[in-house]
Amino acid sequence: EATDQPYADEYCCEIIANGKWIDANPDTAARATRAILKAAVWVQQNPKAAAQMAVDKKYLASTVELNTVAISRLKYIPSVGLAEQTLHTAAKEMREAKMLSPETDTEALAKRAFQHLEGVTDEWIKTVKVDKVPGGQVDPDEDLRLYAEMILKQGDGCCARKMYDQPDQEAPNLADPDASCHDKNMIASHK
């Protein structure tokens, strides 16, 4: 989940599986879910190592530095209770946003959608232990330094890419799409 408002208090992310498959494979569903939750604990303890692994294995097209900044700005703290609560909240918000019919019983929908699995509990999560990888952590000063470097970096940085093909953005996206993040931030602050 994000660390910045307005998303800091929202839980992310849910694991989705077909109910018929879960009913037919409850042990496999529980084992897979426990593995994913344990992996979340590992990422929380080793954000820099997780960033390196994701880039090395080509799970995403990014740099280790950018991925480290992104992962260090998220909380990977698994919770069965918060996952269930979030499903109820999301259903209500989807009805308010007219993604669900006004007649939808969001409580019944959320209860039907959330499956409790054998051995997958908040109590179990509290017992999960993972090793810290040497050099796999990001201290707060390093997080700020990496973030600042990404903002000021020319070239492949997040803000220097061409964005003309994104119709939801103002053209020409705060001036020259090849300008550095720093230049765009300066332009944005004067708007």
Residues 6 or more apart in contact with residue 146 via CB below 8 angstroms: 65, 68, 69, 72, 138
Q: What is the DSSP string of 8-54?
A: TTS--------HHHHHH-HHHHHHHHHHHHHHHHHHHH-HHHHHHHH
Q: What pLDDT, in 10s, does the model give residues 62-90?
A: 888 888 888 887 888 899 999 999 899 99
**CA gap 55, 33 in Å, rounded:** 24
Confidence category of residue 164, pLDDT binned at 50, 70, 90: very low
Task: Tell me how far apart the terminal alpha carbons of the chain are, to the nearest angstrom.
Answer: 31
Residue 146 pLDDT more than 70? no
Average pLDDT over residues 36-51: 94
Residue with tokens 């897979």: 32
The pTM of this model reads: 0.70
